Amino acid sequence: MEIIKTAKAGSLFSNDVLIMISPNDELVIELDTIVKQFEEAILDTIQNKLAEMNVAKGLIQIKDKGALDYTLRARLETAILRGIEL
């Protein structure tokens, strides 16, 4: 899937995550999280969901406030679907 417009999903409330995506020539993931000890696990979850949805390019900005894996995946999927042309 190709991201063609800027989109976002989520919030900055506790236990949630705000994900913003934008078109970009390469895949760039920027992660800001309050749970530094789980940073690698969060990146793995994000990368797996991007691969599952065939997203190879884009700027992915993540502001995590302690979201669980299923929330990360749902917010990322929503942002991607908002950022592509269906």
Percentage of residues in the chain having pLDDT higher than 90 = 97
Average pLDDT in the 4-32 region?
A: 97
Q: Which residues contact 27 (CB under 8 A, 6 or more apart)?
A: 50, 55, 56, 57, 58, 60
Query: Taking residues 6-32, what's their average pLDDT?
Result: 97
Q: What is the 3-state secondary structure (H, E, C) of the chain?
A: CCCCCCEEEECCCCCCEEEEEECCCCEEEEEEECCHHHHHHHHHHHHHHHHHCCCCCEEEEEEECCCCHHHHHHHHHHHHHHHCCC
pLDDT band at 85 (very low <50, low <70, confident <90, very high): confident
Q: Is the pLDDT of residue 86 over 90?
A: no
